[in-house]
Amino acid sequence: MRPYEIMLILEPTLEESAVQGLVNRVTASLDASQAAVTRVDKWGKRRFAYEINHRTEGYYVLIELGAEPAALEQLDRSLRLADEVIRHKIVRMPEGKTRSASPPRAGALAAPRSDQDT
């Protein structure tokens, strides 16, 4: 099995129960295809850097798993068709490495770069 991350951006108007229901459907679909979900991290509502489909915020969910590439094809298709999903991205992680991604801090400023002219 190869390690993957799935980032979901969901409709911000969804109730917590609807978000949990969607996450349960995704994990059930992964379990049915013999993928091993290792972590589900709900980041909550975040403001976008730019508008996506006339929306300014979304509900972020990060899922880490181990799966075979063929197992993700059906999931990718169903996420594309789901009305609750604004965007999704499935990324293959390097072998043997797991990232401990944490949600970005709200209002965090980028550090000034030393190579910029002032």
Q: Report the CATH number at residue 46.
A: 3.30.70.60
Tell me: the pLDDT tens digits for 18-57?
Answer: 999 999 999 999 999 899 999 999 999 999 999 998 999 9
In a domain, 97, yes or no: no
In a domain, 22, yes or no: yes
In a domain, 99, yes or no: no
Neighbour tally for 60: CB within 10 Å: 18
Label residue 12 left, alpha or beta by phi (over 0 means left) and psi (-120 to 50 means alpha). Answer: alpha
User: Poorest-confidence range of 3-17, 51-65, 98-112?
Assistant: 98-112
Would the pLDDT of 101 be above 80?
no
Cβ proximity of 3 and 65 under 8 Å: yes
User: Poorest-confidence range of 37-46, 52-61, 69-78, 92-101?
Assistant: 92-101
Enter the pTM of the model: 0.77
Domain that includes residue 22, residue range:
2-92
Structural domains in the chain (count): 1
